[in-house]
Amino acid sequence: MEDVRAHLAGQSKDALVELLMSQAATDAWLRDRLLLETVGGRSGDVDLATFRAAIDRAVEPNYYEDYRPAYANDIEQVIDRIQALLDDGHAEAVVELAEHAIEAVEQALGWIDDSDGYLGGVLERLGDLHHTACAQARPDPQELAERLFRRELGSDWETFFGAAATYADVLGPKGLAAYRRLAEAEWARVAPLRPGDAGGRSYEGKRFRVTEMMTTLAALAGDVDELIAVMSRDLSHAYDYVRIAEVCLQDGRHDQALGWAERGAAAFPQRTDPRLRQLLAEEYHRRGRHDEAMALAWAMFTDRPTLEGYWGLKAHADRIGGWPAWRDKALAHLRSQPADRGPDAGAGRRVWPGWSGAARSWCGSSSGRATTRPPGRKPPRAVAPRPCGWSWPPSARPTTPRTPSPSTRTRSSG
């Protein structure tokens, strides 16, 4: 292209202008770029209408688009011009344009194959740009709180997820109070979920979003009691009790944690979430109630008699020096199982034929370590019981830099 550069350098200014104008007449992207550079370079007010039109042209798909990086790149070019406005001191205009662009991109996501996440990156950039512009423009905190609340509650794409924490530095006390009033009014409409209620309702769009709003507000306030009250609105899964008990433990409330764990075990007595039994067993051990702890450890093992469950039982028995007796009991139980009760049976995974025989050879030594193993199998590895730690959601940490929220949240069914 150096020969082209040399050719253009030899042309007159008028010739180059004509060349650009001629190309812009048939090239929409070039035309928009020239328009944005023209209106963006003017002193005084920003021509918002021109920028909005450019955003809409860049974002709107004409048909169901296959994934194309060029599509996201076209939008990025417009965002570059909006960023330039912020650099030139037009923060108020950028706030408005960023909100318009976010809404347009979120709507387009229903028609775009964004399997590689390019538009997700566009939304993240727009969210960062919006927050930075708000920090510079300092809009009315109550009006901003209303807009953030409306967009967070109504969007399926979580661009404003955790807005109270992300924008706390901009909202200030007045804005956060306005946001809380709106969230609490919506929260009052959320019906409690109890054990046995239909699964999946926890993650219904509006319910999930307002729950996260209230969780974020409780975290910002540092109010553990409020957080527990929010979480206890949904007790439809055994793991809900685990999460509440973990919050209590993090705050040093062991008795309260035990109470929630015992309530969960009573609500889900059969084949419950192993994390609930594990937490309850740990609390029983801590209080010297070892018989109750071992009863739970045994239930965890017999519900799913895998090698991992075997080592989990050993970890509990070792704490009271009772492994030899529990080992014999475990092996007797394994020998009594049908051949199809091997690891992961019932989970649609490959079953080990002859699991009972394998158990005798794998677990046959007095220490519980393997002395022989089935052909082609690696030696067993002791797996310590996994903690069921719950932590404050990243979006609810006031000191956490703005990051995109996880797209999925999982929980084990009760």
Q: What does pLDDT average to over the chain? A: 80
Averaged pLDDT for residues 47-52: 88
109 or 411, which is more confident? 109
The secondary structure element, H or E, covering residue 296 is: helix 290-303
Q: Tell me if 290 sits within 8 A of 299, measured CB to CB.
A: no
177 or 359, which is more confident? 177
Task: Give Cα separations from 47 to 44, 55, 85, 96, 97 (angstroms).
Answer: 9, 13, 11, 12, 11
Q: Tell me if 172 sits within 8 A of 179, measured CB to CB.
A: no
Amino acid of residue 154: G
Of 247, 270, 271, the closest CA to residue 257 belongs to 247
Amino acid of residue 136: Q
Q: How many CB atoms lie within 10 A of CB 39?
A: 18
Residue 395 has pLDDT above 60, yes or no: no
pTM: 0.73
12: confidence class by pLDDT, cuts 50, 70, 90: confident
Q: Show Cβ contacts of residue 308 under 8 Å, excluding neighbours closer than 6 positions.
A: 343, 383
100 or 372, which is more confident? 100
Q: Residue 377, SS3? A: coil
pLDDT tens digits along 265-285: 999 998 789 999 999 999 999
How confident is the model at residue 149, as a pLDDT? 97
Burial string for 152-175 (b: 16+ CB within 10 Å, else e) reads bbebebbbbbbbbbbbbebbeeeb
Complete DSSP assignment for 63-103: S-BPP-HHHHHHHHHHHHHHHHHHHTT-HHHHHHHHHHHHH
* Partner residues linked to 112 by β-bridges: 65
Residue 390 has pLDDT above 80, yes or no: no
- Of 27-41, 67-81, 297-311, 361-375, minimum mean pLDDT range: 361-375
137: confidence class by pLDDT, cuts 50, 70, 90: very high
377: confidence class by pLDDT, cuts 50, 70, 90: very low
How confident is the model at residue 304, as a pLDDT? 87
How confident is the model at residue 31, as a pLDDT? 62
Q: Percentages helix, strand, coil for the chain, rounded to the nearest 5?
A: 60, 0, 35
